[in-house]
Amino acid sequence: PAGIWAGYRGGRELPADQIDTGVPEKSLVNLLLKQTEVPENFTPHKKIQRLLSIRQEMAEGERKIDWGTAEALAFASLLTEGYRI
């Protein structure tokens, strides 16, 4: 906690250990590229294709990651690690 919450420790719970929740950038890029793949015999709706193209640009570093993509990557990383969501 920082600022006005810095001294607050709260109730009966003991402070928790810091847990590394990071995912390597290369893993996130691979997960994002996987999310943009479309089967050969499938033509997505033009709005979906636009979304996939934008996510492809994000994976290639041409665009910043938006909130929805970050959330999709969070779920994908949990699934990859074997967590049921």
In a domain, 17, yes or no: no
In a domain, 14, yes or no: no
In a domain, 10, yes or no: no
Which residue range forms the structural domain that includes residue 72?
Answer: 22-80
| pTM > 0.75 | no
Characterize 48-81 residue by residue with b for buried, 16 or more Cβ atoms within 10 angstroms of its Cβ, and e for exposed. eeebeeebbebbeeeeeeeeebeebbeebbeeee
Residue type, 83: Y
In a domain, 32, yes or no: yes
52: left (phi over 0), alpha (psi -120 to 50) or beta: alpha
Per residue in 47-81, pLDDT (tens digit) is: 999 999 999 999 999 999 999 999 999 999 999 99
In a domain, 55, yes or no: yes
In a domain, 31, yes or no: yes
**How many domains, the chain?**
1
In a domain, 36, yes or no: yes
Per residue in 2-37, pLDDT (tens digit) is: 688 787 766 777 777 778 889 999 999 999 999 999
